[in-house]
A = this chain, B = another copy of it.
């Protein structure tokens, strides 16, 4: 017997029939002798419907009231699923965030979890009940309703799993796991049985949008085994866990787990900056002050005592960053500022690469063989990222996928 936390998203509870399907899925696990805590999102579309009404009421809706409004979404689904389970003969009880209570800080619309009281849930589980909890929501110290922000239900599920010391946290989505890369680009992409938290963080942040980054961080911090599964298809999905668990299995750790990529990239360059200490801060400070996030940063020696900076960021922010950068350039007496929003980033991810120096050279050779020019390179312990011209994306990902035998 295990204690399992299962999270179902908005699509999985999008109408009466789908909620009944979730009840069926939960019932399977109860029949196998497990204790189950279910975390639900609002019905798909509901959050948008409520947000539309709020915007008709107030130009910039009050965040406290917005949280009061939006949390009704999960309150509806938890009541309905509890009824559906009871109808099938499985005792069930629902809890909103404040009923748990799941205590957060006071940042309405993006609150952080501070404390979860597991007593009520454990008591109900002990009585043989399925506990159905509203995701995404909590309560602050003043007794106000808070929300964790979009996708916060994943975080709720992982946090509950940590608080209850659950054996596994299962996230049901519309895909059946994490793939070696996007199957729309490489039809031969394979589902990964297991991946480490660190790999998942790199894969998630780079575009394989299966899980909220925050929930993976949370799972990693509290060592909660996290499994991504399909709510429609049967199958074991992908288990996200610690590196140690790989060692426990007979499986050989692959060098590369997957290839992530992002089409939403722009490259900005500021050239011929007089090279003085503190110049990097003078350039990047104003951009960061404008709340624009920078991804890769490269600094090169320029000509005659000057230096060149290149960095990447989201395309949506690039125009605004360009303006800031031009004003900085005038101020510092830099030669030139350019922007290119026709680039993409491709990243090879794998904990195995730590001990294998050959990964980078194989990657660069593969791209060279396909006449793909590399514009920028960045590395971390478990990732190598390259920036290439956007027209090369599909060919680059496909050839790398083959070169690293990810389709085997």
Contact = CB atoms under 8 A, between A and B. Distances in A.
Interface of A: 16, 19-20, 50, 53-54, 56-59, 61-62, 64-66, 68-69, 71-72, 75-76, 78-80, 82-84, 86-87, 93-94, 96, 98-99, 143-145
Contacts of A68: 75, 78-79, 82, 94, 96
A62 B79 CA distance: 9
A69 B65 contact: no
Contact of A143 (B53, B58, B75, B99): B99
B62 A80 contact: no
Contact of A69 (B66, B76, B86, B93): B76
B94 A80 contact: no
Nearest to A61: B83
B86 A16 contact: no
A53 B82 CA distance: 13
21 contacts: A16-B56, A20-B57, A53-B80, A54-B80, A54-B83, A57-B80, A57-B83, A58-B83, A58-B84, A58-B87, A62-B82, A62-B83, A65-B79, A68-B78, A68-B79, A68-B82, A69-B75, A69-B76, A75-B75, A99-B143, A99-B144
Nearest to A144: B99
A153 B80 CA distance: 23
Nearest to A100: B143
Contact of A19 (B57, B94, B99): B57
Contacts of A19: 57
Given A20-B57, A99-B143, A80 B69 contact: yes
Nearest to A52: B16
A93 B75 contact: no
A98 B145 CA distance: 11
Contact of A57 (B57, B64, B84): B84
Most interface-central of A54, A68, A144 (chain B CB within 10 A):
A68
A82 B67 CA distance: 12
A145 B75 CA distance: 11
B99 A83 contact: no
A120 to B, nearest CB: 8
Contacts of A66: 79, 83
Contact of A76 (B20, B50, B61, B62): B50
A75 B79 CA distance: 15
A59 to B, nearest CB: 7
Contact of A79 (B54, B79, B84, B93): B54
Given A62-B82, A65-B82, A65-B86, 5 more contacts: A50-B76, A58-B87, A65-B83, A68-B75, A68-B94
A395 to B, nearest CB: 49
A30 to B, nearest CB: 17
Contacts of A145: 96
Contacts of A79: 54, 65-66, 68-69
A145 B143 CA distance: 15
A88 to B, nearest CB: 9
4 tightest A-B CB contacts, nearest first: A69-B79, A72-B72, A57-B83, A58-B83
A58 B86 CA distance: 7
Contacts of A62: 82-83, 86
Nearest to A96: B68
Contacts of A83: 54, 57-58, 61-62, 65-66
A86 B64 CA distance: 12
